[in-house]
Amino acid sequence: MEVLSALNLGDFAQVFSKMGMFPVFDVAYYIVSIIYLKYEPGSVEVSRRSPVASWLCAMLYCFGSYILADIMLGSSPIDYFQYNSHILLASAVWYLIFYCPLNLFYKCVVFLPVKLVLVALKEVVRTRKIAAGVHHAFHAYHHGFFIMVIVGYVKGSGVALISNFEQLLRGVWRPETNEILNMSFPTKASLYGAILFTLQETHYLPVSKSTLILVFTLFMATSKIVMTARHSHGSPFALIESWVCHLLFGSPLGGSEEDHHAPAAPSSPLKTKEELSDGARKRKAKKAE
């Protein structure tokens, strides 16, 4: 019986890891990404004033991970823009979210049950991107462990890593913080995921890739659903990280990130976008309209 269940699980993981992402999962990814763009203060005003800037930001939110990975591997940063159907789909989502009459589309997709499903689907895409990024880097540099981790990391984190420059496009400049200084949960998880997939790719982690994809997807989807449902921005890694950082890097124990950087820039909006509770975001987005 045990063998059978293991076989079935392996089979399921196999099927799951081969499943096509286009268009359902990709659309979910675009929707959730562009919702986060709309949450950003000032983004609605920019969409009225300069549709080109707003569209470019939306493309960065949707395809930032491809752009960054292409830069890291020395390819054309706009290489992914050759897939016209993906770009058109993302543009349609951008148009519906920002310009739909009565704001109807936006209201549908931020309705909590719908949003929870979309958020989970987004994490499926994120995990697949990390795995693909590590695999791609592995083909270019067979022993480049650091390169594999970096490419997997940027594939998972996407626009968050260049949020300073994405904001600059919208006329906002907040140099006192960035996603590396104050990592949000998805960025941290992408880093850990990239390390795991690199270990798997180089056979230091004795599991099959499909199993790792399945397990990591389940972890990410569950975490994000719980965090979205509870409007929380605590990280499941907080406790263990706090101890490891204390031992290795002498960081003060127990304090969350907020405590550390608070004195550095007390009056500025320091929480990163994916960390903001959804309640606060919606209020801001509504105000902006």
Give the binding site for its own copies (CB under 8 A).
45-53, 56, 70-79, 81-82, 84, 87, 98-99, 140-141, 143-147, 150, 164, 168-173, 175-178, 180-183, 191, 245, 248-252, 257, 260-261, 264-265
Name which of 209 and 261 has its Cβ closer to its own copies.
261
Please, what is the minimum distance in Å from the beta carbon of residue 251 to its own copies? 5
Q: Phi/psi zone of residue 36: left (φ > 0), alpha (ψ -120 to 50 degrees), beta?
A: alpha
Name which of 120 and 199 has its Cβ closer to its own copies.
199
Distance CA 227, CA 116 (A): 10
Q: Taking a C-beta distance cutoff of 8 angstroms, is the pair 213, 127 a contact?
A: yes
Please, what is the minimum distance in Å from the beta carbon of residue 189 to its own copies? 13
Please, what is the minimum distance in Å from the beta carbon of residue 167 to its own copies? 9
Please, what is the minimum distance in Å from the beta carbon of residue 279 to its own copies? 26
Cis peptide before 23 (omega within 30 of 0): yes
Please, what is the minimum distance in Å from the beta carbon of residue 34 to its own copies? 15
Q: Which two tokens stand for residue 262?
A: 């608070």
Q: How far apart are the first and last CA of the chain?
A: 58
Name which of 80 and 221 has its Cβ closer to its own copies.
80
User: Which phi and psi angles does 87 have, rounded to 5°?
Assistant: -65, -40
Distance CA 32, CA 120 (A): 10
Name which of 1 and 248 has its Cβ closer to its own copies.
248
Distance CA 148, CA 127 (A): 15
Name which of 175 and 206 has its Cβ closer to its own copies.
175
